[in-house]
Amino acid sequence: LNKCDHLLCVTDYNLAATLDCGQAFRWRETGGVWHGIVKGRWVGLRRTSRGIEARTAVPQTDWHWLTNYLQTKVDFERLLESFPADDRHLQAAVKAHHGMRLLRQDPWECLASFILSSTKQVSQIKQVVALLCERFGETIPGPVKTETYRAFPVPERIASALEEELRACKMGFRAPYLLNAARAVASGNLNLQSLARLELDEARARLMSLHGVGEKIADCVLLFAYGLPDACPVDVWIARALRELYFRRRNVPLPQLRAFAARQWRGCGGYAQQYLFHYLRHHPEALKPGTAL
């Protein structure tokens, strides 16, 4: 059976929060439809009462690529049970964006995107990623024939680019980092597929061997592309939240905050930090002294 339309039956799925919480950077929403590109396929998504309606530009016989990306088969209720019940800050954030999921993204796209993310706002990351795709991505079929749609550029294409061409995508000092990472992946020096079989610490060390990839960016990749539940990226927002809400505004050093997060959210650190991150981006006033989250 070949079709361009498909219904994903899900409950407790917050599509808008999932696609706009800062874990992926290519999704856009127009008129209630989210459109983006998953594994080189254009797809439009709409939340309905029955689930998620998906539409592609090319007929599909198998939708596993999409259900895997969206993680629609994850039991959300069981997921909630893994969160500490007595963590009132986390529970408040979960309540505000109930049904938000972590995606399962392509490792290379995720790694490249987060190399570009350092000290940039989410809106700027989206802009740089869009420029990169526009200039280096392969064209793919889309719904409007007069428009061009592009896949995320393969590492081989980035590897053959000039640093100046990359800088022209407004990525600044991150350009040599991206170029080096693309060469490592394209040459086989870094095998992204083999990372899936490693423990958290070993996989993290491999990623951190890349110039421009520290603990935070490595954890983003291990969480958003490999689904390691204990990968818990601590960025400026999460660090601020931990200090304000869990350490009574004490100036606790970053490594100590990371250790605390690992203990506090054992088994669910990835989800916990993502709910807090998304909540705080919508409610930055929650970090003001004396304000309960």
Partner DNA sequence: GACCAGGAAACGA
Partner DNA sequence: TCGTTTCATGGT
DSSP the chain: --EEEEEEE-SS--HHHHHSSSS-S--EEETTEEEEEETTEEEEEEE-SSEEEEEEEEEES--HHHHHHHTTTS-HHHHHHTS-TT-HHHHHHHHHTTT-------HHHHHHHHHTTTT--HHHHHHHHHHHHHHHSPEE--SSTTS-EEPPPPHHHHHTS-HHHHIIIIIGGGHHHHHHHHHHHHTTSS-TGGGGGS-HHHHHHHHHTSTT--HHHHHHHHHHTT--TT-----HHHHHHIIIIISTT----HHHHHHHHHHHTTTTHHHHHHHHHHHHHH-GGGGSTT---
Q: What's at 27, amino acid-wise?
A: W
Residues at the interface with DNA (CB under 7 A): 21-23, 117-125, 127, 167, 170-173, 208, 210-218, 220, 233-238, 253, 255, 273-274, 277, 281
Query: Please, what is the minimum distance in Å from the beta carbon of residue 190 to DNA?
Result: 14
CB nearer to DNA: give 145 or 250: 250
70 or 171: CB nearest DNA: 171
User: Minimum distance between the CB of residue 181 and DNA, rounded to whole angstroms?
Assistant: 11
**Which residue's CB is nearer to DNA, number 79 or number 154?**
79
63 contacts 6 by C-beta, under 8 angstroms: yes
Residue (42 or 277) nearer to DNA, CB = 277
Bridge partners for 41 per DSSP: 38
We find the least distance from the C-beta atom of residue 69 to DNA, in angstroms, to be 16
Nearer to DNA, 54 or 132 (CB): 132
Rounded distance between C-alpha atoms, residue 13 and residue 50, angstroms? 11
Q: Closer to DNA at the Cβ: 25 or 149? A: 25
Q: Whole-number minimum distance, CB 273 to DNA, in Å?
A: 5
Output the smallest distance, CB 89 to DNA, in A: 15
Name residue, tokens 């254009």: 42
The Cα angle at residue 173 between residues 172 and 175, in degrees rounded to 5: 75
**Min CB(30)–DNA separation in Å:** 20
For DNA, the closer CB: 56 or 113: 113
CB-nearer residue toward DNA: 59 or 214: 214
- Supply 22's token pair: 């800062």
Q: How far is the CB of 4 from DNA (least distance, A)?
A: 31
Minimum CB–partner distance for residue 120 and DNA (Å): 5
